[in-house]
């Protein structure tokens, strides 16, 4: 295990599209939660005393920067004491943040605490769209934040953007791309809106009150994303992620390389010793579960076939694709016949290509990635 994810489920505003494990921070037992999170990490480290060489620590949410200064300091001190001694010299230490949370004192606190990468949720640069998303920052907030972050010493900044939004035009999207890359950032994550159950957008969509772009417009936005990023020197290394050379996210690559990682916090997912784990999600129940020594709500032993399926559909998200020789070496067996047949069928459809043992999505296959991934699920493998 080379990566650790810590979940902070608190937000000052619930965004209308978000289905992650989160709650409105007011009147929540934040301090008790942080104690439980620390205890879960300690329990995990007790079970894995040989853990060292950590390459990525990622604090996500929710909104980690929704914590007040004292709470955030406490969390950072715990990480500095407990996890940083186990880290490699090339540690990527990321904290998610909203632009309007990143003032000078907060940025200094994060940097002094050891963080060296920020993942900033901008999403859009148009006031109407930001309001529609339920965001609390303005279109110009990031312009003010980036110079402060640079002065504090952050040299690895990532910005999240969204397309396919209700009421979003191609011109809006291209403007957001230009605004983001004009700031000289090292990394961009850009996601098409997915309408998830139990969100404000889901309820509006059910009532026919969410004016979404048609499929062709969404595809055009994705195409312009790829072209713009390439022109700006941010190379696509995964379906939704772009980076300047050397700034690819180590944490996300852990997921796409199908490697194990620790996940701690309410609703957090992990992959430890061949088991996929899901933590108890409600805050109070999570705290009680940790105090009882068992934060996991689900504990699933991943079968060899499931591991092989995941190796393919996660790895194919990357521009580098899947190394077939590495696949064979990792599982100690030739590719099952059913997998080889499926690969051949997808090649015939020109959705996959193979060169020098690397299996990749084609240009035609990239927008149809979900169709390709699903083709590998549930095959009869002897």
Instruction: Please check whether residues 315 and 252 belong to one and the same domain.
Output: no
Q: Are 141 and 252 part of one and the same domain?
A: yes
297 within some domain:
no
Last residue of a domain, one of 200, 233, 256: 256
- 162 and 311 belong to one structural domain: no
What is the per-residue pLDDT for 382? 66
Same domain? 226 vs 341: no
* Tokens representing residue 347 in the block: 């090649």
Q: Which of 195, 230, 256 is the last residue of a domain?
A: 256
Q: Could you list the mean pLDDT of each consecutive 10-residue stretch along the chain, which spans 382 residues?
A: 94 88 92 98 92 95 96 98 96 97 97 98 98 95 98 98 96 98 98 93 92 90 96 97 98 96 97 96 97 95 95 96 95 92 96 96 90 90 71
Judge if 130 and 243 occupy the same domain. yes
Check: CB of residue 8 under 8 Å from CB of residue 192.
no
What's the confidence (pLDDT) of residue 334? 87
Q: Report yes or no on 70 lying in a domain.
A: yes
Q: What's the confidence (pLDDT) of residue 5? A: 98
Q: Are 91 and 231 found together in one domain?
A: yes
- Residue numbers of the domain that contains 183: 3-256
* CATH classification at residue 110: 3.20.20.70
What is 99-142 written as a DSSP string? GGG--HHHHHHHHHTT--EEEEEEE-S-HHHHHHHT--S-TTHH
Give a yes or no: residue 272 inside a domain: no
Indicate the number of domains in the chain.
2
Q: Is residue 271 domain-resident?
A: no
- Among the candidates 256, 280, 314, a domain finishes at 256
pTM over 0.85: yes
CATH classification at residue 341: 1.10.10.10
Q: Within this chain, do residues 235 and 331 fall inside the same structural domain, yes or no? A: no
CB-based contact 98:58 (threshold 8 Å): no
Do 233 and 331 lie in a common domain? no
């Amino acid at each position: 295990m080379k990566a650790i994810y810590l979940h902070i489920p608190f937000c000052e505003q619930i965004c209308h599209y978000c289905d992650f494990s989160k709650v409105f921070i007011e009147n929540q037992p934040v301090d008790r939660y942080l104690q439980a999170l620390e205890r879960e990490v300690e329990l995990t480290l007790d079970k894995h005393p040989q853990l060292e060489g950590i390459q990525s620590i990622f604090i996500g949410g929710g909104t980690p920067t929704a914590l007040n200064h004292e709470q955030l300091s406490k969390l950072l001190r715990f990480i500095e004491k407990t996890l940083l001694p186990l880290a490699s010299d090339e540690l990527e230490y990321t904290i998610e943040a909203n632009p309007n949370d990143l003032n000078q004192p907060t940025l200094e606190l994060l940097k002094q605490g050891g963080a060296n990468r920020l993942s900033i949720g901008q999403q859009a640069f148009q006031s109407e769209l930001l309001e529609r998303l339920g965001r609390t920052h303005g279109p110009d907030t990031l312009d003010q934040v980036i110079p402060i972050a640079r002065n504090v010493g952050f040299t690895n900044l990532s910005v999240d953007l969204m397309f396919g939004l209700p009421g979003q035009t191609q011109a809006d999207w291209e403007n957001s791309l230009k605004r983001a890359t004009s700031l000289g950032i090292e990394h961009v994550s850009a996601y098409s809106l997915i309408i998830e159950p139990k969100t404000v957008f889901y309820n509006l969509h059910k009532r026919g009150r969410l004016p979404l772009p048609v499929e062709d417009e969404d595809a055009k936005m994705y195409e312009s994303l790829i072209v713009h990023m390439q022109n700006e020197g941010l190379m696509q290394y995964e379906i939704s992620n772009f980076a300047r050379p050397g700034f690819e996210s180590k944490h996300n690559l852990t997921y796409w390389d199908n490697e194990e990682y620790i996940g701690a916090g309410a609703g957090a997912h992990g992959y430890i010793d061949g088991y996929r784990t899901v933590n108890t999600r409600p805050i109070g129940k999570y705290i009680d579960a940790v105090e009882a020594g068992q934060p996991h709500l689900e504990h699933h032993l991943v079968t060899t076939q499931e591991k092989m399926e995941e190796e393919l559909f996660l790895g194919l998200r990357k521009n580098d694709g899947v190394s077939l020789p590495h696949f064979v070496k990792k599982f100690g067996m030739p590719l099952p016949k059913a997998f080889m047949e499926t690969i051949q069928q997808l090649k015939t459809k020109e959705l996959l290509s193979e060169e020098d043992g690397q299996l990749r999505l084609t240009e035609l296959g990239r927008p149809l990635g979900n169709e390709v991934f699903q083709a590998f699920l549930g095959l009869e493998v002897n």
